[in-house]
Each structure stands twice: as structure tokens, then as C-alpha cells.
Amino acid sequence: MKASRWRQVDGVLLLDKPAGMTSNAALQKARRLFSAAKAGHTGTLDPMATGLLPICFGEATKFSADLLHADKAYEAELLLGVTTDSGDREGVVTATLPVRCADADIDAVLPRFTGDILQVPPMHSALKRDGVPLYVLARAGQTVAREARPVTIHTLECIARDLPRLTLRVTCGKGVYIRTLAEDLGEALGCGAHLTMLRRIRVGQMELREAQTLPALEAMPETERLAHLSPVDRLISLLPAVTLTREKARRFAHGNPVSHTRSPGRVRVYVESPVSDLLLGLGEIREDGLLWPRRLTSFGESRDAEMLSAGLKFTPARN
């Protein structure tokens, strides 16, 4: 019987997604390069967009949802005076208006879109209506009512002006549509606008400068490629860490709570090891001082050997 090409690979790849490729196509390409049995990404970028796309392999997929809620940063270019049906350069032009705004007008408008605001999701989005993605309805020429949703834009600054083009740097919470921001800014300036470039430069604490391109990864030998994977706990590095003794780790790994003196809240949990502490998973400390398992890792063979030598036995992760 022919051996499977897929293998257990655990870690996080910071990928610089190219333009013209869907996030899923980029994911599948990266998965093949690493021969990873299991893979997922942490938030879709539109085909037009480029930049940071964290890809999770193996054990890291269990923690990918934690990064969906992380703050993100983008650089975006807008073309004032032209609107499209999709809000970006790939759509059909729907209107053209003269651009008469000055620098002072732009500076006055930006604060209106900073902080907690309401934003209407675009029709060209993956949100669903009666189980059908909105972009499918949009491509069929349909428009449905969408309710405005609360989102947060932490900072919004104009970093380049060459009217009718503006380049913005945006840091925001989850659920922000940059194409909608471009349209809303254009409307506020009285001339309309659409998005011509979008590049994601940060997700949580992960920076684009750390990312690799697909051509660069293809050109690497396998050992060098693997060296570019970040550890699984990179995805949850913002959570406080606790380290358990081997006895407590044994109980925790079997799904049982253990006592802990740290303040209540979510934590990443490790077991003490002579080499380096090893990730057990996510836990939650409750008001009664008990640390409960919330998501557990199931380690690969190399880690199993070390764990078993310490007298520990691990169960598969629980969702």
C-alpha cells in the first residue's frame, strides 16, 4: 500500500498572501508544501488583498479561533471620486463625481470613523442570509437589507495623500470591513470612494515582517521550511501562562480541575519539563480557585515520548 504523503505537522506559518489568490487556495498550497495532515487559517483575506495570513497546522488548528478575535492592522489605498458595486477595484463602476475636498476636510472626517462605530456589512461578503453567502446574492444582482453592526476602529490615520488617492493605516477589532470604511469615508467627503489596495500588516502580536511568501517557501529545502514555523502557543501568547507540576498536569490532561492561586480568567497551561515547559492547552480559572481544562493538546510522537517518560498520559483535545 502506498504511504500517505500527509504527516503530522504542528505549528503556525505566517504567510504573506499574494493578490489574486483566495485564502483557501493559499492555505491548500501551504499545506502541500509542508505535507501537513491538518491545516486551517485564522481569518479570510479577499482575493484582491495581500499580506499576513496566519496558517495553522496540526495542533495549532485547535487554537485558531482565538486569533479570529484578535485586533488587526491594515494599510489601504482609496480612490476618491469613483464608486463601484463591490466597494473595491474589482467591481463595476456605479458613479463618478468630482473630488473637491482639501486636506482639512480629510482630517476633519477621519475622527468620525474612529472608536466604537456602526458599520453596515457589504453585499460582497461571506455573511449569510438564509444560509446563502451575501456575495452569491450580490453576483446574482440581488441586494438585501443588512443591519448595521457595532465595530471598533482603534486608530485611523492618513499616511499618504496624492488626490484623488489616499493611503490609510487602520488598526481595528474583529468584524471591520475596510471596503465599507472606504465607501463611508468617500460618502462623508461628498465624492464617493472605493478600495484599490488592501494589505494586512498585523494580526494580534504577529507582524507581516515575519511572514514568508509562497515562492520563497517553495525554493527552500524542507528543513529550512519547517524552521519558519512558529510554535503552537504563538496563537495564545497574549493569555497569561501557568505551569503545573507533573501530578497536577496528569489530572488536568484527563479533564479534571486542579487548584491554582492565580486570578480568575483564561490561561495557557504548561507542564514543567527538564528541557522546556510543554503546552497542555487552554484552561479557565474560576472564582473558587479551580483551574478547569477548556482545550487540550494531543501531542505528536516526539512529545509523547517525553511526556510518558515523565509518567504523564494525554487525552485528545476537547472542544
Name the grid cell of 2.
502506498
Which amino acid does the sequence have at 297?
Answer: T
Rg (CA), the chain: 23
Phi and psi at 41, nearest 5°, equal -115, 175
46 is known as an active-site residue: yes
CA distances from 65 to 27, 55, 170 (A): 16, 12, 22
Q: Are 242 and 269 in contact (CB under 8 A)?
A: yes
42: closest CA among 51, 215, 33?
51
Element (DSSP H or E) covering residue 248: helix 246-253
Q: Nearest 5°: CA angle at 176, between 108 and 295? A: 145
123: closest CA among 140, 132, 141, 135?
135
Four-CA torsion 153, 209, 64, 298, nearest 10 degrees:
-150
The catalytic position among 10, 46, 88, 233 is 46
- The residues carrying an active-site annotation are 46
